[in-house]
Each structure stands twice: as structure tokens, then as C-alpha cells.
Structure 1
């Protein structure tokens, strides 16, 4: 398919399903099923991924959906992060088996990261993280530290990867606690300026603090309850963390910690309007949560949908 044809196909927007309301920003696409989102203050727009089409699109504040990156190497775009300072868009590439370009060679094995010029969408670099170890892989979420080093979770392997500013990719942290249980494991990740990562575990609802100076130092954050289905996480500030839960919970909680994330308590929670919330982004004083409706994509019997919501909390 040519680039022009792809733009025509994927930029279909239903006026009745796009717009900004008190509930948030609704938008429509050709059943793209976005799982990830990021906000670019520099460009004044959200960017969202696509589990089904393996692309990146922009969603503006009115709900207008426009394809931005259409790269044939991308099977399912599972994690996005825009670095406005360096004008770089980071995208994780995986294959859960429901994308247009899924295949036996990549399904459950693909773990890669691609970077693009955040203004033009032109490719910059591509990192094959799955080749760093044997077994199944799924590159999920991504975080950046102040220097521009990237950290990536693998949901099928007990690994957090690091891509440094020289472009060298390596296994950064590995722990047997990351691998217990079935299904998706490591998922959301956030960098804290005090020198550690906060990493969520999807199937068990645990939250870990991983030291950047010594990645062997991994401590569980004491929580009032297991946050089962913890997907995307987003720091509001040093002491407040947004955790988006699905897997039946379908809510977003705000955690607060007064002891450097040795422990945390829940200070706010809100139900998702649509099904399967997956990611959050901060825009000024507001938090937006992507209602992905991915449950309907993974259910063979469900009707497929093309309308989604960036829910305003």
C-alpha cells in the first residue's frame, strides 16, 4: 500500500464521534485500537499508537485523528513517549498476534524500539531488543531519564532494557520476581529524578522501585492493595503517581508516597467511561486516560470498534 493510500484509509474520522466534551476528547479511526499515548507540548497534540495497524497518529484537542508514522516494520505500537527537548518520538514495537502484520516469526517474540523525528515522523533508529536474550518477548512501555537514556519493559521476559544516549541497547535489570504468574507481566514504567525507576507488574498488581545506580537493588513498593491489571503509569510529580488499571478493574488510581516510594497509598480513583483504559498523559493540570476498548479486539466474537476516548480525570 502506498503512503498516500494509507493516509486516505486510516484518516477516516466520523464527525459524530470526534470532539471535546467535559468527559474528555473523543476520536475515531479505522479500528486502530490505540493502546498507548503521549502528549507533545511542543506540537500541542497527543500521539497515539495502534495495536491493529502498527502506526502512530496525532489526536488534537478537537478529536481530529491524523496518521503521523506509517512504518512497515511496526506490527503493534505498544508504547509511545515523545521527547520534546530532543524532538524525538520513541515507539515500542511488539506482536501480540492481532495486528495486520502479525506473523509466526514475530508473534510473542518481537521486542523492538524505533525512534522518529517528532516533527516530521522520519525514522531515526531501530533497536532489536529481543535479540539480547532467548525466549518470548514483548516490548511494552518506555521511560526516559533526564540525560535521554531510555528504559523499556518486556512483558514476557523478566527484563528491563536500557538504550543509552550512544545508541547501545542492553539488559539493564533482570529479576525472578518479574516473571512469576501467567500472562502479561512487566508493563508500565516511569523514571523518578531521585535515581530510580518505578515499574508496574500487570498480572500481580505489584509496583517495584529499581535503582538506576545499582539495578540489582529492586524493592517492592508497599501498596494498600494489589493493583491487578496495572497498565500505564505516569508521575504527576515526585510524590504522586497515576496508575491505569484494566483486566476487569477498569479504573485509574492516584498514588501518593511520602517516603520515597518505599510505600504508597491511594488518594483518588475514577472509573473508566469506556472499556480497558491503558495509558495516561499529563496536560497542564489535567490527566487524560486512553480508553482503548482493546477487549473487543482480543475477543474474536466481539464487534470491532473505531471510536475511543481520552478521558479527562
Structure 2
């Protein structure tokens, strides 16, 4: 017999179910010739920001898959790393030149390494930092992390350097070590700040993960991993003990690492293959993790058909 209490329980469950957000799902979108490589999410605006390897722009993407150009700045050749700070409504953008952009030039290819900041709501420019001018040689500003005070840290894939831009806007070489650069091509790549006072920095070509103290930049240690994560691109810290690593270079998967000893060591908790080719970046949006399937293999392969459809994969 159906009781009044049971009916009330069923009604309450139905109401709660209707009020609960839908389960996260992949976000499919399309854009001509943009080839987005970078990704960040603003909880303040409930919107994703995407970069562009070819067009050097920044676009927005909503959860319905609507892609809209947002920032067009002639200084930007290839927008590589993006990070939005909702606390001060600032969007940080790394600017480099891998030779695939419409504004690529002999003067900037392989040497450009800069950071531009913008108002995250209006797109109005705020500041511009020429990091490549801090040292000679090849440069490629790649990814960005912010600490709790608002200091920014930036990896250079072509030099053994992590840069720092402090809250006064002073840019400097923060950490420099021979182990950061051991081969041609892309070396340092993804970076994340840990609230215990260190950076986690991935190395693309060797699959290593470094722990770098933010109080003593000479205190650099390799995180012991169960296997080399070759092609480690973007990384996203979920909490003190969990880190998402987006892996391409043939691996084309997403890896969740866990560490219970302050990132002296880490183990693989779970993996998932990418939905499309060459995933490059991850962003946390509420309780969900989205991974950009960038398909850059089709851009750099002269024989491949170029594409315009992409997906933010729910991990």
C-alpha cells in the first residue's frame, strides 16, 4: 500500500531532481581555421576562453557550444596559454610564434615569448610583458599559473626557464635549470601552483614532472612517476592530491595523478582516451573537468585535411 509518507518522499525526490543540474556532457563546437590550443574557465561569467594557434585571437565558448571571437589584438601571433583570474577579472594570455599563425614572421618565429593581460569582461588590454627580452636565444612562452597573491609563473618551452611576473608588474627569470631543457622541440609545458608553496611543471618531450618551490626557486625535484608521461601538455590541479595531465604526442589520453606525500611521488588513478586527436588543455568548471581536443596533428601535417570541429571532452 502506498503511504502518504512514501508519496511525499517521491515528490521531494522529483523536485530535487528537477532542481539539480544536468549531468555534464561533452561540448561540441566549430570554428573555421582557428585551431584552439588553450583553455580556461571563468566561473564568474560561466564561460570558457579559447586561444588560437593560427589566428592569434581569444574566443569565448558557452556550455551550449556557441563560439564567439572575443579579443583581436595585432600583437598576438599564437595564443598558447590562457588563465582567467575571477578575483580581479583579468585574463592572462601567452603570446608565441610556432610559425603557423597568420601574423608569423621571421623576426618572431621561435623567439617570441610574451604575456598580455586583458579585462576578462570587456577584452580591454591591461598590460604586456616581453619575457623573451630577459635572455638571449630561442623562446616560446607556453603556460601560466597564478599563486594566491596574484604572482604569475610562465613556462618557456624553448629555454630552461620559468618566468615570474609579480604583483607590481615586474617580470623576471624565476627558475632556471639545465634539466628543464634536454632536447630540441618542446620542453617545459604545463604548469600549476600548489597551495603548499610550490609549482608543478610538466616537461613535454620527456614526460617528467617537476616540483619547484616558490620560496626557493633552486629547490627543484622530479616527482617520481610510475611511467614517463611523454607528450604531457596542459595540467590542471583538482585539489591538493589530484592532478589532471593532458597527454598527446601519440598517447592521446587524459591522466589523473594522485599524490599523498606532497608530490614527492605520484601514481596514476585513472586514464581516459581522448575523444578526438591531440588533446592539449584541461579546465575545471565547477565539479567538472573539460579537456580540449585540439586536433593540431591535422594542422601540422601538410597531407592532412584541415578541420574546424572540436570538442571539450568531459573527463
TM-score normalized by structure 1?
A: 0.93
Report if aligned partners of 1:199, 1:209 keep a CA contact under 8 Å in 2. Answer: yes
| CA pair 304-176 structure 1, distance change in 2 beyond 3 A | same
Tell me the CA shift for residue 219 of structure 1.
0.2
Q: 2:46 aligns with which of 38, 44, 47?
A: 44
Gaps of at least 5 residues in structure 1 are: 1-19
Aligned to 2:14: none
- Alpha-carbon distance between aligned partners in 2 of 1:27 and 1:142, rounded to the nearest angstrom: 25
Quote the offset at 1:100 in angstroms: 0.6
1:304 matched residue in structure 2: 306
Distance 1:117 1:70 in 2: 13
- Structure 2 CA distance for aligned equivalents of residues 284 and 106 of structure 1: 38
Distance in 1 (alpha carbons) for counterparts of 2:151 and 2:57: 23
Displacement of 1:22 after TM fit? 6.7
Q: How does 1:50-129 map to 2 (within 5 A)?
A: 50-129=52-131
In structure 2, what is the Cα distance between the partners aligned to 1:22 and 1:160? Answer: 35
Q: 1:303 to 1:21 in 2, by over 3 A?
A: farther
Per-residue deviation, 1:181: 2.0
2:273 aligned residue: 271
- Asked if the contact 1:236/1:242 (under 8 Å) is kept, the reply is yes
- Give runs of aligned pairs for residues 115-154 of structure 1, distance below 5 A: 115-154=117-156
Moved >2 Å (runs of 4+):
20-23
CA distance in 2, matches of 1:109, 1:182: 14
Which of 249, 252, 263 is residue 251 of structure 2 equivalent to? 249
SS of alignment partner, residue 96 of structure 1: coil
Q: Distance in 1 between matches of 2:23 and 2:209?
A: 33
Q: Distance in 1 between matches of 2:73 and 2:24?
A: 34
> Residue deviations 1:251-293, cap 9 Å, x none?
0000000000000000010000100000000112211000000
Gaps of 5+ in 2: 1-21
Q: In structure 2, what is the Cα distance between the partners aligned to 1:172 and 1:210?
A: 10
| Cα deviation, residue 129, structure 1 | 0.2
SS of the counterpart of 1:30? coil
Two-structure CA RMSD over aligned residues (Å): 1.1
1:172-187 mapped onto 2 (5 Å cutoff): 172-187=174-189
Structure-1 residue corresponding to 2:227? 225
Separation of aligned partners in 2, 1:48 and 1:194: 29
How far 1:120 sits from its partner (Å)?
0.2
User: CA offsets per residue over residues 283-307 of structure 1, 9 Å max, x none?
Assistant: 1221100000001111112111111
Query: Which segment drifts farther, 20-29 or 198-207?
Result: 20-29
The question of whether the paired residues in 1 share the 8 Å contact of 2:249 and 2:278 is answered with yes
Give the SS at the match of 1:289. Answer: strand
How far does the alpha carbon of each residue in 1:87-133 deviate from its partner, in whole angstroms, 9 at most, with x for none? 00000000000001000000000000000000100000000000000
Answer whether contact 2:43 2:286 (CA < 8 A) is retained: no
Alignment of 1:259-298 (within 5 A): 259-298=261-300
Report the alpha carbon displacement of residue 21 of structure 1 after superposing the two structures with TM.
Answer: 9.7
- Equivalent residue runs for 1:17-28 within 5 Å: 23-28=25-30
Contact 2:225-2:267 at 8 Å conserved across structures: yes
